[in-house]
Amino acid sequence: MSIQTLEQFITEQQTQFPQAKGEFTRLLQSISLAAKIVHREVNKAGLADILGKQGSQNIQGEEQQKLDVFADYYFLDILKKAGECCYLASEEHEDGLDLSSPSHYPNGKYMVYFDPLDGSSNIDANVSVGTIFSIYRRVSPSGELQDEDFAQTGRQQVAAGYVIYGSSTMLVYSTGKGVNGFTLDPSIGEFCLSHPQLRIPELGKTYSINESNYNQFSAGIKQYLQFCKNQDPATQRPYTSRYIGSLVADFHRNLIQGGIFLYPETSTYPNGKLRLMYECNPLAFIAEQAGGKASTGFLPILDIQPNALHQRCPLIIGSVRMVEEVLLYVKEEVELILNS
């Protein structure tokens, strides 16, 4: 059986996609290398002193796990040394790392936003976790970064992807020409193409949401959840509830099998809880490239104008028909309010 590695695949794409130049190729290879190192540590976590809490909090006020700090360090270190980036931003830090000064990499063309270890609170329970990344090309020609570099919407991403560390480790990414998945073969230390041109089914049988927040949901979301539970064989309902609590894991399952993930606004988080730049935007980019849909309930995720590094937003993402069902209930709620 023919095997195509991630490096071979990326090299082949250079002849097809204008954005896949040498610098971009090296950037993706750097992300791949960092993912392999994190994979190694995640898989030996139970045998090493890297489980449990770090004893500190990140900028979100969340308790950092030891593996959070480890993954953050290696992604930052490897991407910084690669020399292709003018800006790096991680969930774990209040400010991004500006590398555009003459003392760093003034010719770096790419800005990378990433969540180094999504779902890390589950790591002690041996639940799948992941890395999410988003890549932009700077808009300003050179020198110091300008406001327009940071004002790019999700539609201006040149690539986005995630790595899921589970029963196998997979890297899934898109450069705007479909979505491809690569599984790490530990025997050769390479990511190999295993899921070419991934497409999310238009309709799934699974919905993923933290229903402990039910009393804080809007009326439209509550009505949709009741719709999911109603008996209707013609529309394959009731849907099955599957919530892992690890965004990458829930999204990956729905990407493969079809389904929907919801983290809507609540009374506690009226602007949503998930972060736009390094969680919602990259996954929305992948979802749309795979034939799915991503929305806040009112606006496509990829059309949101960013105004802060750690900006939050609601997320409704997955199979296109399921997302559209939610939007109908939200629309009905808005119309009722306007007409009352």
DSSP secondary structure, 224-246, as one string:
HHHHHHS-BGGGTBSPEE---S-
DSSP-derived secondary structure letter, 152: -
CATH 3.30.540.10 residue window(s) in the chain: 6-195
Q: What are phi and psi of 203, to 5 degrees?
A: -140, 130
Omega of the bond leading into 186 within 30 degrees of 0 (cis) = no
pLDDT tens digits, one per residue of 197-230? 999 999 999 999 999 999 999 999 999 999 999 9
pLDDT at 55: 46
For 114-132, what is the mean pLDDT? 85
Residues 6+ apart with CB under 8 A from 96: 87, 88, 89, 90, 113, 309
Q: Which of 77, 80, 76 is nearest to 91 (CA)?
A: 76
Residue 211, SS3 per DSSP: helix
Residue 80, SS3 per DSSP: helix
Is residue 193 classed exposed, middle or buried when 0-12, 13-18 and 19+ CB atoms within 10 A define those classes? middle
Q: What are phi and psi of 196, to 5 degrees?
A: -70, 140
More confident residue, 10 or 18: 10
pLDDT at 141: 86
pLDDT at 236: 85
CATH 3.40.190.80 residue window(s) in the chain: 206-339
Q: Which of 185, 160, 187 is nearest to 170 (CA)?
A: 185
In this predicted structure, the answer to whether residue 16 has a pLDDT above a threshold of 90 is no
- State the CATH class of domain 6-195: alpha beta
Classified by CATH at the fold level, domain 206-339 comes out as D-Maltodextrin-Binding Protein; domain 2 (3.40.190)
For the chain, what percent of residues have pLDDT higher than 70?
A: 90
pLDDT at 230: 96
Q: Which of 86, 84, 85, 134 is nearest to 113 (CA)?
A: 134
User: In the numeric block, which tokens belong to residue 210?
Assistant: 């933290």
